[in-house]
Amino acid sequence: MARSKAWTAFPHDSKGFDYPDAKLEKAWAKLHAGDQEPFPDGDTVAGWLKSNKTLGKLDAAETADRLQSAWRAFHAGDFQIAFDIGEAVGPLGASVACKAGGIHATYLIDDDKQQLQRYEHLVGLADAAVDALPKLANSHYRRAFALGRYSQSISIAKALTQGLAGKVKESLDATLKLAPKHAEAHTAMGLYHAEIISKVGSMLGGLTYGAKAATGEKHLQTALELTPDSPIAWIEYGNGLMLLYGDKREDDAAEAYAKAAKLKPKDAMEKLDAEFAKSQIED
């Protein structure tokens, strides 16, 4: 994907989102409670390299340093740097590349065509990661994320024709099988059920896609139980309620947005999430 110009910069103060040296590992469990990303130290990376010879003869320690640098950049809001480092590493860097590229596109790209191109590119990176590292939960989750964002950027008819809903669910099922406490995957699975029902109705959604309102809400609630201090878990819970029940749960959705807006962000992504929640309340 061509990057002829600098990406739109993170528009907020990033003070407090810097995790230099050992501070990154110390904060890792809290920073990655939602996506269950393993900390990429030398031993972990060595294990990944050993599990798949197609990754090439990379130096484990050097690769670990590069991945940690990419994640530091991501958490600080330097999304382009995080993406560039991750993409350069190859399938091992797909997780940080997809997350950085996806969060940036969601919040900081206004042009629909550019967004679509970004998501298409991320699908390719995630597909390569699934092929190379199928035992890593986030190989599958990043694929689901990229496919989901891509499907939201095209027409409903086109998305259904391409079978994207089934591909997203397949990837989310694989994620949750490998990481049952993956809060972001629970959120995404909840939204899968909610969006299907919202688009095609509960009867057709249930018969064709197995979508159920109760199942969707349960997944969304599970994400809240796993990560109660995550702004995006509350935002998507509110979004899911509106998709499933409309005005009947408008007050509950508003309360969820309000909770998201009040949470203290731990990194740049959560700052963007919280600011979005505030904008929903103001609107």
**Arithmetic mean of pLDDT, 149-164:** 83
Per-residue pLDDT at 3 exceeds 70 = no
Residues 56-115: tens digit of each pLDDT:
889 999 999 999 999 999 999 999 999 999 999 999 999 999 999 999 999 999 999 999
**If one looks up domain 182-283 in CATH, what number appears?**
1.25.40
The pLDDT value given to residue 249: 93
The pLDDT value given to residue 205: 67
The pLDDT value given to residue 281: 84
The pLDDT value given to residue 1: 46
The pLDDT value given to residue 209: 77
CATH architecture of 18-180: Alpha Horseshoe (1.25)
Place of tokens 């995957």: 185
Percent of the chain, pLDDT > 70?
96
Q: How would you write the chain as a 3-class SS string?
A: CCCCCCCCCCCCCCCCCCCCCHHHHHHHHHHCCCCCCCCCCHHHHHHHHHHCHHHCCCCHHHHHHHHHHHHHHHHHCCHHHHHHHHHHHCHHHHHHHHHHHHHHHHHHCCCHHHHHHHHHHHHHHHHHHHHHCCCCHHHHHHHHHHHHHHHHCCCHHHHHHCCHHHHHHHHHHHHHHHCCCCHHHHHHHHHHHHHHHHHHCHHHHHHHHCCCHHHHHHHHHHHHHHCCCCHHHHHHHHHHHHHHHHHHHHHHHHHHHHHHHHCCCCCHHHHHHHHHHHHHHHC
Provide the residue ranges of all domains of the chain, joining segments of one domain with +. Answer: 18-180, 182-283
Check if 18-180 and 182-283 are the same fold. yes
The pLDDT value given to residue 21: 94
